[in-house]
Chains A and B, each alone.
Chain A
Amino acid sequence: MIRYIRRAAVLCLLLLAALLVNAARVQVFEARSLNNNPANRRLIIDRYDEPRGDILAGGGAVTSSNDTGEQLRYERSYTQGPLYAPVTGYASQTYGTTLLENAEDSILSGASLLLTRIPYWNNLSRTQQPGGNVVTTIKPSMQQAAFSGLNNRRGAVAAIEPSTGKILALVSSPSYDPGLLSGTGKQVADAWSRLNGSSVQPMLNRAIRQTYPPGSAFKIVTAAAALEAGVVTDVEAPTGTPDPYVLPGTSTTLPNEATGCGNASLAYAIQWSCNTVMAHLGVRIGMQGMLDTVERFGFNDPGLRIPSGVVPSNFDTRMTVDQLALSSIGQFDTSATPLQMAMVSAAVANGGDIRHPYLVDRVTTSGGDTVSRHSRKSYHRAMTPSTAQQLKQLMIDVVEEGTGAKAAIDGAQVGGKTGTAQHGMGNAGTPYAWFISWAQADHAARPAVAVAVVVEEASAERGEISGGGSAAPIARAVMEAALRH
């Protein structure tokens, strides 16, 4: 019997040994795939288990993390959420992250190895690194000026420091409070469907994720192309353009809002926004010449990140001549983000060199030690300094004597260009009012800011006046804030 008892004992112990082997299988060999199973909520629980690092603007945090004591513990809240939403994006337990919350997620969540002194120490000690902070280049006074200027109208503002590429203001309107999307409850789902269902699209970041036909504001690009290509050598010389101008290969005549455009010079055409002259110049520059220039300004670039992704601005690469003519005045398929148009203005202000735009100045540990700083770099050289110099003067003329008079600021040199873009079938839609500009204080060595403003549904009847009427005052307010320091 002893033998049988021993065997039975061995059987029982084998059962327990099988458990140990199985435990090792689950806990060691299959652990990685189980841990990374998307249905395993531990990933997301751990993610929200620590307060998220903050996003800073002008030295103050515009985000905070609240301890809810729930399973997904720390929820994001936003101070002045609607104001900074186009910068921060949201960090939602339910809907993920967008914009800076997304692009800098590894820093904010503490996952980034940049934040650890000893690599992999946290894996070993099973502690989580506290989230780091992201210091933005946004200047709150400018952000606020742009936001107030838009005053809930649909539109966007982008402002850049031309000499560095720092994005000083990035506003989209109407906006929303990203904090509404923090958490998991029914309120969050309701807010999500309400925001998504809204006809004014408050979650659309119009400054970097929406393109608009740039209208006459695009004429600065065409003018640059004309000067670069040598089609125009003297901005004051007549261009030999008839008024009205018949689009090549068609019987369509192109009208002008302005008067005196027949055989006008480039300077006159920019100052008073002659469609005919610029369309004619575009045709003379030719497809390749236009394309070279627009791409140096940043059109058709799908890879621009600030670090949030920027949708590419479009200039078609294959067109008939009449389409090229229309494209050269910012119509047809030409479309641009407000940020792109701010870059156009910044290129002029900065002597033709576009600095790579950026929104994150540096990232720090939770204690404030800088762990990485944005390295400023050039984006493209859009044109020669002499071309830029000539355009600069043309833009100054627009503000001093032309359509952009409402952007003038005492004690500063301001250059600008208005634009009004018709859109919709047969231009039935209400127009978009554009204003792009830059400003340089009288005593300063270089321009302080380049701004692009777009206002949808500008409630004016006549094109040029609405660009100058609706958008220019907003640009002026933003520039004034930039000049004030």
Chain B
Amino acid sequence: MTATTADAPPPDLRLPKRRGVELSLLVCAVLISVYGYVEVGLAKGGAVPPDAARYGAGLGVLALLAHLAVRYRAPYADPLFLPIAVLLNGLGLALIYRLDLETPNNAAAPTQLIWSTLGVALFIGVVIFLRDHRILQRYAYLSVVAALVLMLLPILFPAVNGAKIWIRIGGLSFQPGEFAKILLAVFFAAYLAANHNALAYTGRRIWKLQLPTGRVLGPIVAIWLLSVGVLVLERDLGTSLLFFGLFVIMLYVATGRTGWIAVGLLLAAAGAVAVSSLEPHVHSRVEDWLNPFATIDAGEGPGQLAQSLFAFAAGGTLGAGMGLGHSILIGFAAKSDFILATAGEELGLAGLTAVFLLYALMVARGYRAGLSLRDLFGRLLAIGLASILALQVFVIAGGVMGLIPLTGMAMPFLAQGGSSVVTNWVIVALLIRVSDSARAPQPEPVEPGIVAPVLEGER
């Protein structure tokens, strides 16, 4: 009677690889980017930019090489990461090129294209040479030391626009904090994967809060102090907020204790209040946020944040069209910190929604990979990387739109900035790697040692 069921062939367990989907999405991403580029040329000069074909070919070749690397080294990877990254990067290039037209002496798009190429090269390198993400777990402590060194280095260099987050050697400027965030995510993932039982179940209990032992808690407090320390020394509110938020999220996921979130928020609030009242640079940004039009009332003309709000408002629902806005009024950071305002003005709420959805999709897919993975380190790493993207987008976009105080950070892939675009390509490479592990058909062999076999029970 149940013969039909019994005799049925075993279901095909092979997951679809979806590489064809990735390739067709990539073609779309490149075409949309080139269309944006051409549109800028038509709007500003009435003609297709002379190098549109070269630009399109360049972007296409980069996308194709990245795709080939994924196809042969991570065939089961999520097919959305790469097209989204290419689209955001291509859109960013078009926006920077568009702003370049208004600042003829300061062309940033060619440099950005070189950095993007370097980023894709690193992406390919990571996809090809990092065969298994768990190898990274072995370098947890090396990562955190490297991250610390990178973060502290800029203190030796002079401040740029009030923030000591750059290293300038010759004509090249470089923001080491960007790389540090990957290294920190690796460290957090490894540390929490190794200690998550100790964090969750040991230590003294004070009233309702279960405190871990000092030995386990120590490094966490150290990291918190470090994030505030980075902020004070380098006046980098954004990065410290990012690190702290990243850490709280990963700690929460690893331990499942809501108390950590409460403690984290309290500590963050205390730190933010202390710093904003003590540090004039940060204080002025909070003031700007509370009253973006104060400088207008004072007769000094609109400040950057006011200009940014004007740009978003000018875009309205449908946008002014590529090349037809006036976001250059924002001034010196229009191509980097404030690039989203150009997107908002020229693409409108419609375009901005699309951009945010692209980020959201990438974050969601990162979390999806984290859910599917069976090793704790990989899970936490995927979640950490996805959270970096989400937090960074929130912090910078919220800043330029007046939702939260402004912090100098780069919109992932969109903004001008070499270290940022390279770092983000590496993040995508790591996400591709973990998503490949998550979706690959054969069960992963459990690594002995660091990862405890509690996972089976939990799933």
What residues make up the interface of A, taking CB atoms closer than 8 Å to B? 1-9, 11-13, 15-16, 18-20, 22-24, 26-28, 30-32, 34-35, 37, 39-42, 45, 126
Question: Could you tell me if B349 and A23 are in contact, using CB atoms closer than 8 angstroms?
Answer: yes
Given A16-B363, A34-B310: A2 touches B371 (CB 8 Å cut-off): yes
For this complex, 13 residue pairs linking A to B, each with C-beta atoms less than 8 Å apart, are: A1-B458, A4-B253, A15-B393, A16-B363, A18-B403, A19-B403, A26-B312, A31-B313, A31-B316, A35-B310, A39-B306, A42-B326, A42-B329
Q: For the complex, what is the distance from the CA of A127 to the CA of B124, rounded to whole Å?
A: 45
State the main secondary structure of chain B at its contact with A: helix
Known: A13-B363, A41-B326, A126-B321. A19 touches B390 (CB 8 A): no
Cβ contacts under 8 Å, B296 to chain A: 37, 39
Closest to B396 in A: A19
- Provide the residues of chain A in CB contact with B348, threshold 8 Å: 27
CB distance from A94 to the nearest CB of B (A): 15
Q: Establish whether residues B253 and A26, one from each chain, have CB atoms under 8 Å apart when the complex forms.
A: no
Q: Once the chains bind, are B301 and A39 in contact (CB under 8 Å)? A: yes
The smallest C-beta distance from B66 to any residue of chain A, in angstroms, reads 25
Number of B residues with CB within 8 Å of any CB on chain A: 52
Q: Are A20 and B315 in contact (CB under 8 A)?
A: no
Contact B314 A42 (CB under 8 A): yes
CB neighbors of A among B302-322 (8 A): 302, 306, 309-310, 312-318, 320-321
A2 and B316 form a contact (CB under 8 A): no
Are B367 and A9 in contact, CB atoms less than 8 angstroms apart?
yes
Q: What is the 8 Å Cβ interface bit string for chain B, positions 395-410, against chain A (1 contact, 0 not)?
A: 0011001110000000
**Which residues of A have CB within 8 Å of B326?**
41-42, 45
Could you say which residues of chain B place their CB within 8 Å of the CB of A35? 310, 313-314
Interface residues of B (CB under 8 A from A): 249, 252-254, 256, 293, 296, 301-302, 306, 309-310, 312-318, 320-321, 324, 326, 329, 344, 348-349, 352-353, 356, 359-360, 363-364, 367, 370-371, 379, 383, 386-387, 390-391, 393-394, 397-398, 401-403, 458-459
A6 CA to B253 CA in the complex, in Å? 9
A16–B352 CB distance below 8 A: no
Complex Cα–Cα for A42 and B401 (A): 18
Contact of A27 among B254, B349, B364, B397 (CB under 8 A): B349
A39 contacts across to B, CB distance below 8 A: 293, 296, 301-302, 306
CB neighbours (8 Å) of B315 from chain A are 27
User: Is B309 within 8 A of A26, CB to CB?
Assistant: yes
Q: In the bound complex, what is the Cα–Cα distance between A12 and B401 (angstroms)? A: 18
A41 to B325, CA, bound (A): 12
Scoring A7, A9, A13 by chain B CB atoms within 10 A of each residue's CB, the highest score goes to A9
Contacting residue for A12 out of B309, B353, B387, CB 8 A: B387
Contact, CB under 8 Å: A5 / B390? no
Residues in B neighbouring A13, C-beta threshold 8 A? 360, 363-364, 390
Structural contact, B398 and A1, CB atoms closer than 8 A: no
CB-based nearest B residue for A41: B329
The answer to whether residues A19 and B363 also contact, given A27-B312, A39-B302 and a CB cut-off of 8 A, is no
Chain B nearest CB, measured from A17 CB (Å):
8
Q: Are B312 and A23 in contact (CB under 8 A)?
A: yes
**CB <8 Å contact, B301 and A22:** no
In the complex the two chains form, is B313's CB within 8 Å of A26's CB?
Answer: yes
